């Protein structure tokens, strides 16, 4: 059975189908209709709910898209919906600010905005405008033009953080820990099953027992198979309760990230490598997506337009694959075998990703080009790693997404850079090699011509970055 | 009309604000379903044009929960949903003529079961040749209605004698409404052959009419109802009729309530959008840039059927000269019949496309002459000396476009900023900035005079509470709040005393769509008319009671007074009941003085004009074409605003929606006529960070409407969208600063911008 707290009260779902979404359950089963379906793909935020789990003495609060969240993912968490915020007749400070600033018009997106702001409110986020934009980047409003919403957010995030959950947090954390101390989640129904093993070995065993099972981490991509492609999921095995897959550590000059670490947790560690990585990750999906989605999942999906693979390729990352048979390590270069295909075999899972940390003096630069700054999929995503010896380039790794059927290294470009001096000519040569490395396609995100030209132009930016002249040029 | 205002003009909150933020506002899909309610899912054409050879629903019908499958053969009445012309079926008959065209509906016990089973309906198709683009349709002379032609003066000979001539073309993309709530309807068979239909619609009467038609019952047997929509923007003017009609057909077949809710992808694939346009023009002008003659051909992709396209084209033609006097105009409008989804109403209704062509012309004339755009505008504005007659021969009596442009020039500090931008551009190799203004002059009233009527039904109850019903619908624009303010003002009570109720065709019949920005003009005036009737009766009762003249009775602050006499409004309401005086009235309003001749395209179609002006500053990235709007200043004319908070929301929201249309929103069809941007993952509307970080919006103060509108207010729904033309023009400005080819099409996506910049650099773009 799935055990969780709904707006503070214990909820037990005996046997939800493995692919039942939280939004469907809320709206149809539970008749809590405040959370809306706007897109059923995690892109509009109208269904935003907040999940909390124990952290330290209190709770960690994060927004999530209920439309692509499976019921099994609620186990051991607090689920807060828009119906749960007000204290009797007294509006939550976020709700009161939204009213005061005339921040709703048609009102359909409003519950989602309220929940995103509630997550920020509980998380102690600042009222800085840029953070408010980060906070609501996963929420679309078609009526207001956002100004009053941003004002409401600034207002709500400037005052006291007391709300009806303040006195409850400790108790909620205790109750969630009790659920976590109980048996591992295992739901078997006529419609299929949802397992959440607690250890690497149990995970391997579960997959060995049912090689047809699908792994679910954040479910932010898998959810689309359910809602968009209408593919029933009969057997899901979650990696989220596997503590060994949720660790991050530095080992032998590398940052080792467990495959089940959500983007939100990995972000500060990765951003510390280079600020451009922080910018990239804050543009990956939205807070709702980053709360659940994982780098392991981003790699395993092998989408040609995933945002992290180009970066990880440029950094020379490798992947450790686990299974009942043991472990094997694969360089990320060799991991992708074709459009949405990888070397993963039935029964295998990504255990961790190892990212060699750059040395002082190395240059890392990653650039994402998309139509909209926030929550858009790249037309092109390019990443550069350079190691210099004197004024020469000793080692270059360059990778792109959106330019081929998989995220891929630009080998001709790398050859043009390696051993060459750090000069404009070198970078121009490298840019010219791009057209030999890639034959991008025309589609609705961009034409082949644009992809190639914009990617070529990144070398201008990268040259300036390599010579420390980027800021001045802009 | 009294000048005293205690409720109108106040920035009251939206009447549903509290429900919005708590999730308690009930939208159609949130309503409890009647026992036995079924759910329908559409079966759609995968082909742009194909004959239906055979439909086999046996696999779908075998699925658990599936109850029935309905097609055109199940229509008991007439399979017809055309709002203007006939021949527009709800469900395809023999031939499907666009990708997404509804062919049938699977009816099941749950939404999910219906959707899954809809994938299992097997249809054998015989593909037919398809026309997908404007160019192909024009070549084939494939139109949904007769070409429109407006002639004013003699454009051909005036062109011939103009000192300067310039010709050009412009492609303008369409736009999906992307209301957050997708189309939905729920039809319920009632006792005695009657029907009730909930519909997320801007036009309940149209839903009622066509549900009656498809069911073969009188209109009187059908009640259509809507409490609120999760956004409309024109997308729920005619399209919900199709959805409601199909729900009704399914309910008729199963004799049970049926709900049909489109998911986002279906909504974007099946229902119409803003019309994309192709304009080709030739213009003659003098050394100052004053236009002498304009010949323009506007062609639009109407889609598979006419829907509202002819009216959209008329409005486009009427707005092509924006706020400029052009003495000789010849405009031709072609509504192309294509095998793509039928485009429909969208905020501005052709006005934005027409106006953008006019502004592109001003932009290009200014660039040709090397003059400032605003100088060229000043040489062209309607004025007593230059001319006040529009090409459709309406006399402009309220022109303030020039005044607003001057105001903006000062308040936005444009001269100093142009200098700053020039110095920024001189110092930046990778980024360039641009700054541009855009004036807007938008005609208010439906072009078709008969639509300019509003109705209301107001009840006062014996406890003094008031119910306000009217023909307008609430889609977030705050109409219910504004009408409540008008009614409250009339009775001298607080707005909270007035309860707005859902819009129902059995309360107010034969209504017009809540569209053309007319909602508060016609429904507010109708509600005031009803309230005044009741107030007069109440005043008589009070006058009798007190032995005073009814004229001396006043209604203020919840109290009715005359001299030393006073009683609470509620007390008087009760007294009226005791005296057997009716406390209910229907109100009506017909916009005065408007007329239009469709054949000559001449007349006085607009009661008045709404004006605005905007200045936007943008920055483009010369390496990627990415763009940001850095600052926007707006001065907008709302007359005496009924509710400045709501009007501000319309201005800001309209501007940002226009910014999306002109910069990032791109509808992308593949060669087979399939829309490939049919969800927010691929179709990008502006997010919060895309709004100008420096956004200064001012409602023009002390500017009563010269026309006698309700409390001298002005319509505000559509005009602000066009203020975003300033962003598009500023992008052109920035591209010019980068030495690129500034004359780009719309939307100005990063791709278009980069290619335009690269063209100018002499680096030929790689072949597409």
> What's the pLDDT tens digit per position in A141-175?
999 999 999 999 999 999 999 999 999 999 999 99
Domain of residue B554, CATH code = 3.30.365.10
In the predicted model, is pLDDT for residue B767 greater than 70? no
Q: Is residue B445 part of a domain?
A: no
Domain range enclosing B243? 33-129+177-270
C-alpha to C-alpha distances, B494 to A209, B405, B440, nearest whole angstrom: 69, 38, 35
More confidently predicted of B760 and A277: A277
Q: Are residues B331 and B472 in the same domain?
A: no
R_g of chain A, CA atoms, integer Å:
23
Whether B261 is in a domain gets the answer yes
CA A111 to chain CA centroid, nearest Å:
22
Q: How far apart are CA B210 and CA B219, in angstroms?
A: 9
Is the pTM value of this prediction over 0.90? yes
Q: Residues B667, B732: one domain?
A: yes
Grouping H, G, I as helix, E, B as strand and the rest as coil, residue B527 is helix
- CA-based nearest residue in chain B for residue A41: B681
When divided into structural domains, chain B yields a total of 4
What is the mean predicted confidence (pLDDT) over B613-636?
A: 98
Question: Residue B712 contacts by C-beta under 8 Å, 6 or more apart in sequence?
Answer: B639, B640, B704, B705
In this complex, how many residue pairs, one in chain A and one in chain B, have their CB atoms less than 8 Å apart?
A: 262
Quick check: B768 and A442 in contact, CB under 8 A? Answer: yes
Compute the average pLDDT of residues B8-22: 97
From the list B225, B474, B619, B718, the catalytic residue is: B718
Closest CA to B284 of B351, B350, B330, B322: B330
Q: Identify the burial level of B492 via C-beta atoms within 10 angstroms of its C-beta, where 0-12 means exposed, 13-18 middle and 19 or more buried.
A: buried
Q: Do A374 and B625 touch (CB under 8 A)?
A: no
- B-chain residues near A108 (CB < 8 A): 27, 179-181, 230-231, 476
CA-closest candidate to residue B282, choices B363, B373, B165, B392: B165
Looking at the complex, report in whole angstroms how far the Cα of residue B424 sits from the nearest Cα belonging to chain A: 10
Shared-domain flag, residues B221 and B89: yes
Domain formed by A2-83+166-238, architecture: Roll (3.10)
Residues of chain A contacting B21 with CB distance shorter than 8 Å: 82, 91, 95, 98-99, 104, 110-111, 114
Examine the predicted complex and report whether its ipTM is higher than 0.90. yes
Max distance between CA atoms of chain B, in angstroms, equals 89
Q: What distance in Å separates the CA atoms of residue B456 and residue B484, rounded to the nearest whole number?
A: 12
Domain limit, last residue, from B270, B293, B315: B270
Q: Three-state SS for B730?
A: helix
From CA A386, how far away is CA A100, in angstroms rounded? 52
Question: Does residue B228 sit in the same domain as residue B113?
Answer: yes
B129/A362 Cα distance (integer angstroms): 58
Question: Measured between CB atoms, which of B263, B430, B475 is closest to A106?
Answer: B475
Asked if A372 lies within 8 A of B230 by C-beta distance, the reply is no
**Is some CB atom of chain A closer than 8 A to the CB atom of B429?**
yes
pLDDT reading at B768 higher than 80: no
Judge whether B583 lies within some domain: yes
CATH class of A93-156: mainly alpha
And the tokens for A72?
């099994």
Record: contact B430-A448, CB cut-off 8 A: no
The confidence score (pLDDT) of residue B3 equals 53
What number of other Cβ atoms are within 10 A of residue B702's Cβ? 5
Q: Taking each helix axis from N to C terminus, what angle separates A263-271 and A275-282, rounded to the nearest 10 degrees? A: 160
- A348 vs B765: which has the higher pLDDT: A348
Q: Verify that B322 and B305 share a domain, yes or no.
A: yes
| DSSP characters over B77-111 | S-----SSSS---SS-BSEE-STT-EEEEEEESSH
Under-50 pLDDT residues of chain A: none
Q: What share of chain B is helix, strand, coil (3-state, %, to 5)?
A: 35, 25, 40
**Distance (Å, whole) CA A344 – CA A342:** 5
B491 and B630: one domain? no
Count CB-CB contacts under 10 A for residue B63: 16
pLDDT score at A392: 95
Q: By the 8 A CB rule, do A206 and A212 touch?
A: no
Q: What is residue A57's predicted lDDT score, i.e. its pLDDT?
A: 84
Contacts of A445 in chain B (CB under 8 A): 682
Contact criterion met (CB below 8 Å) for B434 and B617: yes
DSSP helix/strand/coil, B75: coil
- The CA distance from B110 to B66, in Å, is 8
For chain A, what are the domain ranges?
2-83+166-238, 93-156, 247-356, 363-473
**Yes or no, beta carbons of B751 and A105 under 8 Å apart:** no
Structure tokens at B174: 């369409």
Find the helix or strand (DSSP H, E) in which B653 lies: helix B644-663
Considering the segment(s) A363-473 as one domain, its CATH architecture is: 2-Layer Sandwich (3.30)
Residues B614 and B726 in one domain: yes
Looking at residue B5, what is its pLDDT? 83
Q: Which of A285, A299, A266, A265 is nearest to A407 (CA)?
A: A299
Task: Point out which residues pair with A49 in neighbouring strands.
Answer: A64
Cα separation, B214 vs B81, whole angstroms: 8
Using CB atoms within 10 Å of the CB of residue B138, give its burial: 0 to 12 exposed, 13 to 18 middle, 19+ buried: middle
Helix/strand/coil (H/E/C) assignment for every residue in B297-324: EEEEEEECCCCCHHHHHHHHHHHCCCCE
| Residues A30-60 as b or e (16 or more Cβ within 10 Å = b) | bebbbbbbbbbbbbbbbbbbbbbbbeeeebb
Judge if B248 and B109 occupy the same domain: yes
Q: Which of B113, B120, B70 is nearest to B246 (CA)?
A: B70
* Helix segments in A239-343, DSSP class H: 263-271, 275-282, 287-292, 295-301, 308-314, 332-335
Does a structural domain hold residue B336?
yes
Closest Cα partner for A256 from A363, A328, A344, A356?
A356
Assess if residue B353 is contained within a domain: yes
Nearest CA in chain B to A368: B624
Q: Which CATH number fits domain A247-356: 3.30.70.1380, 3.30.465.10, 2.40.40.20, 1.20.5.510?
A: 3.30.465.10
Q: How far apart are CA A289 and CA A39, in angstroms?
A: 14
Query: Which of B26, B679, B768 is facing A449, going by the closest CB pair?
Result: B768
Tens of pLDDT, residue by residue over B164-223, are 999 999 999 999 999 999 999 999 999 999 999 999 999 999 999 999 999 999 999 999
Average pLDDT, whole number, for chain B?
A: 97
The confidence score (pLDDT) of residue B766 equals 40
Chain A residues touching B679 at Cβ < 8 A: 39, 41, 43, 228
B626 in catalytic set: no
Beta strand pairing status for A341-342 and A336-338? antiparallel
Q: What is the CA radius of gyration of chain B?
A: 27
DSSP state for residue A307 in the 8-state scheme: S
Packed helices A93-100 and A147-156: angle between N→C axes, nearest 10 degrees:
140
Q: Does B314 lie in the same domain as B190?
A: no
The answer to whether residue B25 neighbours chain A at the CB level (below 8 Å) is: yes
What average pLDDT score do residues B8-29 get? 98
Element (H, E) at A254: strand A254-258
Residues B544 and B662 in one domain: no
Name which of A29, A82, A145, A284 to mutate to probe chain B: the one with the most chain B Cβ atoms within 10 A of its Cβ.
Answer: A145
Q: Which region, left, alpha or beta, applies to residue A200 given φ > 0 means left and ψ of -120 to 50 means alpha?
A: alpha
Residues pairing with B519 in the sheet: none
pLDDT tier for residue B762 given thresholds of 50, 70 and 90: low
For residue B624, which residues of chain A lie inside 8 Å, CB to CB? 369, 454, 457-458
Positive or negative, the CA dihedral B590, B596, B602, B603 is: negative
Tens digit of each residue's pLDDT (9 = 90 or more) over A20-38: 999 999 999 999 999 999 9
Q: Which of A36, A133, A454 sits opposite B624 (nearest CB)?
A: A454
Alpha carbons B474 and B613: distance in angstroms, whole number: 27
* B707 and B743 in a common domain: yes
Q: Which of A109, A133, A453 sits opposite B180 (nearest CB)?
A: A109
Report the distance separating Cα A280 and Cα A267, nearest Å. Answer: 10
Q: Is B56 part of any domain?
A: yes
Interface-testing mutation among B21, B109, B174, B269, with chain A (most A C-beta atoms within 10 A):
B21
- B537, B556, B590 - which closes a domain: B590
User: Are A137 and B30 a contacting pair at CB < 8 A?
Assistant: no
Closest CA of chain B from A306, distance in Å: 13
Nearest CA in chain A to B620: A474
Categorize the per-residue pLDDT at B525 as very low, low, confident or very high, splitting at 50, 70 and 90. Answer: very high
**How many whole angstroms separate alpha carbon B443 and alpha carbon A351?**
64
**Is the separation of the CB atoms in B300 and B336 below 8 Å?**
yes
Alpha-carbon gap, residue B291 to B155, rounded angstroms: 11
Q: pLDDT above 70 covers what percent of chain B?
A: 98
By C-alpha distance, the chain B residue nearest A44 is: B680
Q: From CA A332, how far away is CA A299, in angstroms rounded?
A: 9
User: How confident is the model over B457-467, as pLDDT tens digits?
Assistant: 999 999 999 99
What is the rounded distance in angstroms from the CA atom of residue B741 to the CA atom of residue B748?
12
Alpha carbon distance A238, A245 (integer Å): 11
Instruction: Tell me the C-alpha distance between B561 and B558, whole Å.
Output: 10
Same domain, B759 and B649: yes
Q: Quick one: DSSP state of residue A72?
A: G
User: Is residue B143 included in any domain, yes or no?
Assistant: no
Q: Cβ distance B174 to B675 under 8 Å?
A: no
Q: Are B713 and B523 in contact (CB under 8 A)?
A: no
User: What gap in Å lies between CA B317 and CA B313, rounded to an integer?
Assistant: 6
What tokens does A307 get?
């945002």
Q: Which residue of A has its CA nearest to B30?
A: A33
Is residue B271 within 8 angstroms of chain A, CB to CB?
no
Q: A340: closest CA among A229, A193, A423?
A: A229
Q: Pick the last residue of a domain from B224, B245, B270.
A: B270
For residues B546 and B553, give the distance between their C-alpha atoms in angstroms, rounded to a whole number: 10
B65 Cβ under 8 Å from any chain A Cβ: no
> Taking the CB of residue B52, how many other CB atoms lie within 10 A of it?
20
Q: Is the pLDDT of residue B8 over 90?
A: yes
């Amino acid at each position: 059975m799935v055990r969780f707290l709904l707006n503070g009260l214990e909820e037990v779902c005996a046997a939800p189908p493995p692919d039942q979404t939280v939004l469907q359950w809320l709206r149809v089963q539970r008749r809590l209709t405040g959370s809306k379906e706007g897109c059923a793909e995690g892109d509009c935020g109208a269904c935003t709910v907040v999940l909390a789990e124990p952290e330290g003495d209190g709770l960690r609060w994060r927004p999530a898209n209920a439309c692509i969240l499976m019921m099994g993912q609620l186990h051991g968490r607090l689920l807060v919906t828009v119906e749960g915020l007000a204290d009797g007749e007294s509006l939550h400070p976020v709700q009161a600010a939204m009213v005061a600033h005339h921040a709703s018009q048609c009102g359909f997106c409003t519950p989602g905005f309220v929940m995103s702001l509630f997550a920020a409110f509980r998380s102690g986020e600042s009222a800085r405008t840029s953070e408010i934009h980060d906070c609501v980047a996963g929420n679309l409003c078609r009526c207001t033009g956002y100004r009053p919403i941003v004002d409401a957010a600034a207002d709500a995030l400037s005052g006291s953080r007391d709300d009806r959950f303040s006195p409850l947090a400790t108790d909620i954390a205790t109750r969630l820990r009790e659920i976590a101390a109980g048996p591992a989640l295992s739901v078997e129904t006529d419609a299929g099953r949802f397992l959440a093993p607690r250890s690497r070995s149990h995970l391997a065993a579960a997959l060995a027992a049912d090689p047809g099972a699908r792994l679910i981490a954040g479910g932010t991509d898998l959810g689309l198979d359910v809602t968009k492609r209408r593919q029933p999921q009969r057997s899901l095995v979650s990696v989220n309760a596997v503590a060994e897959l949720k660790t991050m550590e530095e080992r032998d000059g590398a940052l080792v990230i467990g495959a089940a670490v959500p983007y939100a947790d990995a972000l500060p560690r990765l951003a510390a490598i280079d600020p451009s990585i922080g910018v990239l990750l804050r543009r990956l999906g939205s807070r709702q997506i980053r709360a659940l989605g994982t780098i392991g999942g981003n790699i395993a999906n092998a989408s040609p337009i995933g945002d992290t693979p180009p970066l990880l390729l440029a950094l020379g990352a490798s992947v450790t694959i686990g299974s009942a048979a043991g472990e094997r390590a694969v360089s990320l270069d060799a991991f992708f075998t074709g459009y949405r295909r990888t070397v993963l075999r039935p029964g295998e899972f990504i255990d961790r990703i190892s990212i060699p940390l750059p040395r002082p003096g190395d240059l890392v630069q990653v650039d994402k080009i998309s139509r909209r700054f926030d929550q858009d999929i790249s037309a092109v995503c390019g990443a550069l790693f350079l190691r210099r010896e004197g004024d020469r380039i000793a080692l270059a790794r360059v990778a792109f997404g959106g330019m081929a059927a998989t995220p891929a290294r630009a080998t001709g470009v790398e050859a043009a850079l390696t051993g060459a001096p750090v000069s404009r000519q070198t970078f121009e040569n490298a840019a010219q090699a791009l057209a030999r490395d890639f034959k991008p396609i025309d589609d609705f995100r961009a034409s082949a011509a644009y992809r190639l030209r914009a990617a070529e132009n990144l070398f201008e930016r990268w040259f300036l970055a390599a010579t420390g002249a980027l800021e001045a040029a802009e | 009309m009294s000048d005293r205002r205690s409720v109108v003009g106040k920035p009251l909150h939206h009447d549903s604000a509290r429900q919005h933020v708590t999730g308690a506002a009930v939208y159609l899909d949130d309503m409890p379903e009647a026992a036995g309610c079924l759910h329908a899912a559409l079966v759609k054409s995968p082909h742009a044009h194909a004959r239906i050879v055979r439909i086999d629903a046996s696999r779908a019908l075998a699925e658990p929960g599936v109850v029935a499958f309905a097609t055109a053969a199940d229509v008991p009445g007439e399979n017809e949903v055309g709002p203007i012309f006939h021949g527009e079926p709800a469900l395809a008959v023999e031939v499907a003529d666009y990708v997404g065209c509804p062919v049938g509906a699977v009816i099941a016990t749950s939404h999910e079961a219906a959707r899954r089973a809809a994938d299992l309906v097997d249809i054998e198709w015989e593909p037919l040749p398809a026309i997908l683009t404007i160019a192909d349709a024009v070549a084939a002379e494939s139109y949904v209605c007769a070409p429109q032609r407006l002639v004013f003066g003699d454009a051909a000979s005036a062109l011939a004698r103009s000192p300067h001539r310039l010709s050009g073309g412009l492609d303008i993309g369409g736009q999906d409404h992307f209301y957050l709530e997708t189309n939905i309807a729920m039809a319920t068979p009632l006792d005695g052959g009657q029907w009730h239909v909930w519909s997320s619609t801007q036009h309940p009467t149209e839903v009622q009419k066509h549900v009656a038609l498809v069911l073969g019952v009188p209109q009187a047997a059908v009640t259509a109802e809507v409490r609120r929509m999760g956004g409309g923007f024109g997308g729920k003017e005619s399209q919900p009729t199709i959805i409601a009609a199909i729900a009704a057909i399914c309910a008729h077949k199963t004799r049970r309530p049926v709900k049909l809710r489109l998911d986002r992808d279906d909504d974007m694939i099946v229902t119409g959008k803003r019309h994309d346009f192709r304009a080709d023009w030739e213009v003659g002008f003098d050394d100052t840039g004053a236009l002498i003659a304009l010949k323009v051909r506007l062609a639009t992709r109407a889609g598979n059927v006419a829907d509202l396209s002819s009216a959209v084209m008329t409005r486009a033609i009427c707005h092509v000269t924006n706020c400029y006097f052009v003495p000789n105009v010849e405009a031709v409008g072609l509504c192309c019949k294509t095998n793509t989804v039928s485009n429909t109403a969208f905020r501005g209704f052709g006005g934005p496309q027409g106006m953008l062509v006019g502004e592109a012309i001003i932009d290009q004339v200014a660039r040709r002459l090397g003059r400032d755009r605003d100088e060229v505008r000043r040489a062209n504005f309607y004025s007593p000396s230059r001319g006040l007659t529009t090409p459709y021969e309406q006399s402009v009596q309220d022109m303030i476009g020039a005044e607003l442009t001057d105001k903006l020039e000062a308040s936005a500090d444009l001269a100093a900023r142009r200098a700053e931008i020039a110095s920024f551009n001189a110092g930046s190799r990778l980024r360039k900035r641009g700054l541009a203004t855009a004036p807007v002059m938008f005609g208010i009233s439906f072009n078709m005079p008969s639509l300019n009527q509003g109705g209301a039904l107001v009840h006062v109850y014996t406890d003094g509470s008031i119910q306000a019903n009217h023909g307008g619908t609430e889609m977030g624009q705050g109409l219910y709040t504004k009408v409540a303010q008008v009614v409250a003002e009339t009775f001298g009570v607080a707005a909270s005393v007035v309860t707005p109720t859902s819009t129902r065709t059995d309360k107010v019949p034969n209504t017009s769509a809540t569209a053309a920005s007319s909602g508060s003009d016609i429904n507010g005036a109708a509600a005031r008319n009803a309230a005044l009737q009741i107030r007069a009766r109440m005043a008589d009762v009070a006058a009798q009671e007190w032995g005073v003249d009814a004229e001396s009775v006043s209604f203020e602050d919840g109290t009715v007074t005359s001299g030393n006499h006073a009683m609470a409004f509620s007390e008087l309401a009760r007294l009226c009941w005791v005296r057997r005086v009716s406390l209910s009235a229907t109100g009506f309003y017909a916009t005065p003085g408007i007329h239009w001749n469709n054949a000559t395209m001449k007349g006085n179609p607009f009661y008045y004009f709404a004006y605005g002006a905007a200045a936007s500053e943008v920055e483009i990235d010369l390496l990627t074409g990415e763009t940001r709007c850095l600052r926007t200043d707006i001065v907008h004319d709302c007359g005496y605003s009924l509710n400045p908070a709501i009007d501000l929301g319309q201005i800001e929201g309209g501007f940002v929606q226009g910014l999306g249309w002109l910069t990032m929103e791109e509808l992308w069809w593949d060669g087979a006529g399939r829309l490939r941007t049919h969800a927010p993952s691929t179709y990008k509307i502006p997010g919060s960070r895309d709004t100008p970080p420096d956004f200064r919006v001012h409602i023009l103060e002390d500017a009563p409407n010269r026309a006698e509108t309700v409390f001298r207010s002005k319509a505000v729904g559509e005009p602000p969208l066009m203020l975003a033309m300033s962003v598009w023009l500023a992008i052109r400005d920035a591209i010019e600063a980068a030495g690129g080819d500034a004359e780009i099409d719309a939307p100005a996506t990063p791709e278009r911008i980069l290619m335009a910049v690269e063209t100018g650099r002499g680096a030929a773009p790689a072949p597409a």
